[in-house]
């Protein structure tokens, strides 16, 4: 029996989803790798356009690319919510840039959203309600029994704190570049701190879910004994 078969059998015995599937589901609820890649496309258009042509053409170009991405995702029959929310995010960012009157304003929504998410995820750990645990339970139709298993809670704490590090680093770095009026590096940072960091966090989340599910399985086995 292979390791993956063993994980599947363990998960089935515990009434749980395989850790890989669980981690993928959690990641999808946080936007997914594909969503982060799609969100990079308007930035790739906006930054050079704003530098070489001007703010308004850059805004129109970013909105056009976002619209094409939304249509593409709908054609591929992706989930409607990420497609629409992605377009709305670009629209709000473009509006902020227009109101601010500077290209760097395009990044304000992402900068402050990172701070908000870092704060929410940190608070969830402090009150012993790690967000990753709740997302995992929700997407897999599980109850909250994991909260009664200290090892599972600890695993979800670690995964949640990993996302805190991702969000906090995005805020600190991009806020610094915003204050430095470096729109070009802002665009680079937005992309470089997007899917690569999310990929690292996803790997840690995968192993955290794996540990949590094993702890839950052990708890279930002890109760049945």
User: pLDDT above 70 covers what percent of the chain?
Assistant: 80
Residue range 69-127, pLDDT digits in tens: 888 888 887 777 777 888 899 999 999 999 999 999 999 999 999 999 999 999 999 99
Task: Decide if 179 contacts 189 (C-beta within 8 A).
Answer: no
The domain segmentation of the chain, as residue ranges, is 1-30+103-225, 31-101
Positive/negative CA dihedral, 212, 213, 218, 220: positive
Query: Residue 30's pLDDT is what?
Result: 52
For the entire predicted model, the pTM comes to 0.80
- Which pLDDT tens digits describe the chain residue by residue (225 residues)? 444 444 444 444 444 555 555 555 555 555 556 666 777 889 999 999 998 999 999 999 999 999 998 888 888 877 777 778 888 999 999 999 999 999 999 999 999 999 999 999 999 999 999 999 998 888 777 677 888 899 999 999 999 999 999 999 999 999 999 999 999 999 999 988 887 888 889 889 989 999 998 988 887 776 665
């Amino acid at each position: 029996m292979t390791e993956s078969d063993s994980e599947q059998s363990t998960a089935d015995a515990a009434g749980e989803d395989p850790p890989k599937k669980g981690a993928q589901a959690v990641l999808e609820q946080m936007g997914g790798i594909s969503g982060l890649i799609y969100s990079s496309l308007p930035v790739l258009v906006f930054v050079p356009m704003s530098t070489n042509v001007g703010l308004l053409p850059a805004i129109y170009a970013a909105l056009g690319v976002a619209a094409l991405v939304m249509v593409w995702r709908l054609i591929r029959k992706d989930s409607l919510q990420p497609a629409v929310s992605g377009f709305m995010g670009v629209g709000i960012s473009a509006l902020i840039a227009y109101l601010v009157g500077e290209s760097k304003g395009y990044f304000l929504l992402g900068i402050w959203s990172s701070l908000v998410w870092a704060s929410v995820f940190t608070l969830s750990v402090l009150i012993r309600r790690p967000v990753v645990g709740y997302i995992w339970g929700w997407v897999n139709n599980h109850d909250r029994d994991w909260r009664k298993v200290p090892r599972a809670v600890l695993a979800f704490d670690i995964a949640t704190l990993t996302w805190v590090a991702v969000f906090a680093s995005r805020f600190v770095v991009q806020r610094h570049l915003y204050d430095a009026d470096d729109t070009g590096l802002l665009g680079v940072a937005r992309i470089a701190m997007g899917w690569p960091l999310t990929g690292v966090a996803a790997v840690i989340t995968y192993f955290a879910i794996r540990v949590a599910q094993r702890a839950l399985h052990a708890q279930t086995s002890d109760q049945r004994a």
